[in-house]
Amino acid sequence: MIKIYFFALLLMLVPAFAQAQKENESAFAIPAATSYAEPDGNKTEIDENGVSGWSDPKQKIVFYGWVETPGIYTFGVRAKLPTHEISNLKLTLEGNEKTITLEGSDKPTETLFGEFTLKQKGYHTFTFTGVTKTGATFGDLTALLITGTKNPQSAFHFNLEPRRNAASVHLGYPTRKDAPITAFYNELTVREDPIATYYMACGFARGYFGIQVNSPTERRIIFSVWDSGKEAVDPGKVEAQDQIQLIEKGEGVFTDRFGNEGTGGHSHLVYNWKKGQTYRFYVTAQPSETHTIYAGYFFFPERKAWGLIARFRAPKDGGFLRNLYSFNENFDGFNGQKLRFAVFGNGWTREGADVWHELTEARFTHDPTGKVQRKDYDAGFLKDCFSLENGGFRSYGKRKYGDTFSRSFSRRKPPTDVKGLK
């Protein structure tokens, strides 16, 4: 009789176990390596292994994800605490809150907060708050877990790679093939200025020119030109005949060689540029038979005058300015959730000594991060200017890689105060 009862109980448990296993297999695990610490992204360690050293109750751990299919989902966390320690975590989502207790173990454990109803399609914020703890930290987080009646892998879109930078976005300016472009003029207005952002106004085949936010107290104007050859990392490996040569630099400008993104000559001026202020950039090219001299000039509004950043001799060139572009770049991922937004306008090219052409067409592209992992970017217009946005985890337009778009000609005229800048 006991054997028959046990066999019947086993038959009842098998389907339940199979269902639990099926639900577990459908759980969507979002690596904590892709989360952000807020409000200070540098106060909590987040690396390819996840979140560690989270001890400050004022610091929150935040995930951002796109909900494609609204519905009821169960959320949990995979975390580890030292044995015998306990912490309480709160998950806040769409104004609702649930709290769990994590108990220390010799291995990571999975703990569920329970069900949340997501009513809206679009980006959502998943915020973890440390409530109480008995030990040094609230726990090392390795994943946000999602299960539900609908397949969460198809219902959500998250960045699943450890690279937390916002996708870099670019505007390419088509020009006439083999045009003898001797100067490139552009204006840039930064609308959002988080740390670790480079807004580049005048890019060309051999270099780039723009402004950067380096820290809460330091900002820079940067003008760089690449070496000849194909060395990608170590400037010390570049032969002398392939190296960029500095000809002249402006007052207070620092110059050096750079690597790890190709190699070349770097120059920058520490300068406290302001959000909302329109700045003017001007690049010139003087080609010869064996090389081209490239120069970058910045207009200082407080002095009402142009100033030289640097002039470089680029060997094995001999060409005019070509492959013109602008971009927004988030070069450190600790705050890759922040919005970057800049406006580029009144762009012109000069052919020869005095033939000017207004830039009214742009082609949108992004880096590989924008292909799958990050979709929070856009390009468009603001009045008679082009705009670029990246980051922010918010809904954007439908601008796609390779889209070309045009604006009407403005009533502006090419710059007249650049005569004499060579």
- Residue 109 confidence (pLDDT) above 70: yes
280-324 per-position pLDDT tens digit: 999 999 999 999 999 999 999 999 999 999 999 999 999 999 999
- Residue 390 confidence (pLDDT) above 60: yes
- Residue with the larger pLDDT of the pair 9 and 299: 299
**Residue 23's pLDDT is what?**
41
Q: 229 is written with which tokens?
A: 């050859």
Query: Around 231, how many Cα atoms within 13 Å sit in the side-chain half-sphere?
Result: 17
Q: pTM above 0.85?
A: yes
**Residue 96's pLDDT is what?**
96
How far apart (Å, rounded) are the C-alpha atoms in residues 143 and 61? 11
327 to 111, 295, 336, 362, 403: CA distances (angstroms) = 42, 19, 16, 12, 15
201-257 per-position pLDDT tens digit: 999 999 999 999 999 999 999 999 999 999 999 999 999 999 999 999 999 999 999
- Residue 149 confidence (pLDDT) above 80: no
Q: Provide the residue ranges of all domains of the chain, joining segments of one domain with +.
A: 26-157, 169-406
Q: 218 is written with which tokens?
A: 């330091």
**Residue 382's pLDDT is what?**
87
- The predicted model gives 60-66 an average pLDDT of 98
- The predicted model gives 36-42 an average pLDDT of 96
User: Which amino acid is present at 401?
Assistant: Y
- Residue 73 confidence (pLDDT) above 60: yes
Q: 169 is written with which tokens?
A: 């976005």
Q: 172: how many CB neighbours lie within 10 A of its CB? A: 18
393-415 per-position pLDDT tens digit: 998 877 999 999 998 888 888 99
**Residue 81's pLDDT is what?**
96
* Local confidence band at 26 (pLDDT 50, 70, 90 cut-offs): low
**Residue 408's pLDDT is what?**
80
State the burial class of residue 207 (Cβ atoms within 10 Å of its Cβ: 0-12, 13-18, 19+). buried
Give the per-residue SS3 of the chain.
CHHHHHHHHHHHHHHHHHHHHHHHHCCEEEEHHHCEEECCCCCCEEECCEEECCCCCCCEEEEEEEECCCEEEEEEEEEECCCCCEEEEEEEECCEEEEEEEECCCCCEEEEEEEEEECCCEEEEEEEEEEEECCCCCCEEEEEEEEECCCHHHHEECCCCCCCCCCCEEEEECCCCCCCEEEEEEEEEEEECCCCEEEEEEEECCEEEEEEECCCCCEEEEEEEECCCCCCCCHHHCCHHHCCEEEEECCCCEEEEECCCCCEEEEEEECCCCCCCEEEEEEEEEECCCEEEEEEEEEECCCCEEEEEEEEEEECCCCCECCEEEEEEECCHHHCCCCEEEEEEEEEEEECCCEEEECCEEEEEECHHHCCCCCCEEEEEECCEEEEEECCCCCCCCCCCCCEEECCCCCCCCCCCCCCCC
- Residue 17 confidence (pLDDT) above 70: no
**Residue 202's pLDDT is what?**
98
Q: What is the mean pLDDT of the chain?
A: 92
Q: In 3D, which of 373, 208, 191 has the Cα closest to residue 281?
A: 208
Domain 26-157 = CATH 2.60.120.260: yes
- Residue 55 confidence (pLDDT) above 70: yes
The CATH number fitting domain 169-406, selected from 2.60.120, 1.10.10, 2.30.30, 2.60.40? 2.60.120
168-200 per-position pLDDT tens digit: 999 999 999 999 999 999 999 999 999 999 999
How far apart (Å, rounded) are the C-alpha atoms in residues 85 and 103? 6
How far apart (Å, rounded) are the C-alpha atoms in residues 273 and 301? 10
Q: 126 is written with which tokens?
A: 């998943």
326-378 per-position pLDDT tens digit: 999 999 999 999 999 999 999 999 999 999 999 999 999 999 999 999 999 99
